[in-house]
Amino acid sequence: MRPPKRRFPSTRPDPRPAPGPPAEFVIQGVGGEGDGVAPGPVFIPFSLPGERVIAKGSGDRRELVEVLERSAERVEPPCPHFHACGGCALQHWDHAAYLTWKVERLVGTLARERIEAEILPAYAAGPGTRRRVALHARKGGPGSARVGYKARRSWDLVDVSVCPIADPRLQAAIPALKRLAAPLFEHPKSAPTLHVTLTDTGLDIDITGVEAKSGGLSADARMQIAEQAAAADLARVTLAGEMAYMARAPQVRLGPARVNLPPGAFLQATAGAEAAMAAFVAEAAGGAQRIADLFCGVGTFTFRLAEIAPVYAADFTPEAVAALTGALATAPGLKGVTAEARDLVRRPMLSDEMKKVDVVVFDPPRAGAAEQTVEIARSKVGRVVGVSCNPATFARDARTLIDAGFRLERVLPVDQFLWSPHVELVGVFSR
């Protein structure tokens, strides 16, 4: 599920390493943020296990100066912006070794909660498959803006020309997005972010970070946005959810249904990962008589599950639930879906409500589903499928289920944030 919005502090500490003389290090492993780790520990980005390097700085974070002995797993990064851009951390690592490291990190996270399970071969997204990106914008020349990602360990912007992780259609839109962002800087405090999603009907863009206290954008700026959106043939542009332009509803297919997305709607980062995860979830739910799909969003799993059995679907976002409900008419033949907007943290589905449910699927935000998991543990449900973007909170919630008599049978690791330290998973529990 979509993580809550981050709130940044008003003061911005300098994340760069303190000055210091160059020194030699031997890299023993890779840390949780993708940096090489030398004894100390000392963290050195862009270094790999077994390498002997020179790094400068002081304290536990240094900057790589030179690789004296290269790892056989070192490869040439495919992106010209790598090292400067903060979006990717591991383009310099051979893919097989990199993926093994991700899976080992997942296994280690489970082990810290004394959890063992069958770990299946990981699903790995390839380059050019990301269908949603968040691009920051800064004021540029007349009629244009600078658009890109935050620089590594900095608040500066890397003005990108290409992005190898993104779908080619997103890359091709970058010049148009720079023109779209140009009218957004009427107020000096504006720091816009363009949340771009590739849908079946075109690009959907929700713009946040435009200063609104002064009255928001002028009518002229809004007209320019609409003109640029029309010229680029965008599907829709919204300003923090408020409609600015729409040629057609942004739509995606989720299993048998066609869903009109609300502004800022969450989707899995790649269509391939979504399909792999949904197939795994549906296989695990096979034979169910009634299913609960908790933290369902716009129906990533709901419609596929409803081909198996009647589904109760709940999510904390009313707009997502409305989109799910509206899409039911596009998928005849389902076993039935009852959808509800419900805060599953403050008002989790209770064990008594699960009396007729034999399979529960839950896909919470990064914070996990601690309150909901307690109720699942109290229920008589026989099978549970957990989808998670945060192995640490998944392991915590899994321990609650295991202590109540469940067993984590198998886990599918999912790598859809290519060249980042981020790894996701789907786990199947049974009593």
For the annotated binding site, the residues are: 268, 295, 315, 363
Q: Which of 79, 85, 88, 389 is catalytic?
A: 389
Cβ proximity of 426 and 363 under 8 Å? no
CA atoms within 13 A on the CB side of 65: 13
The secondary structure of residue 305, as a DSSP letter, is H
**CA separation for the pair 140, 262 (Å, rounded):** 30
> What letters, b where the CB count within 10 A reaches 16 and e where it falls short, cover 25-37?
bebeebeeebbbb
Cα dihedral sign, 177-262-303-311: positive
**Neighbouring C-beta atoms of residue 384, cutoff 10 Å:** 25
Helix H or strand E segment including 315: strand 311-315
- Using CA atoms, how far residue 117 sits from 52, 124, 368, in Å, is 36, 20, 19
Residues near 397 by beta carbon (within 8 Å), at least 6 away in sequence: 368, 369, 370, 373, 386, 388
79: left (phi over 0), alpha (psi -120 to 50) or beta: beta
Query: By the 8 A CB rule, do 414 and 273 touch?
Result: yes
How far from chain centre, in Å, is Cα 88?
Answer: 14
Which residues make up each annotated binding site for S-adenosyl-L-methionine?
268, 295, 315, 363
Please tell me the distance from the alpha carbon of residue 252 to that of residue 261, in angstroms, as a whole number: 7
Is 79 annotated as catalytic?
no
- Is the distance from CB of 83 to CB of 76 less than 8 angstroms? no
Residues designated as active site: 389
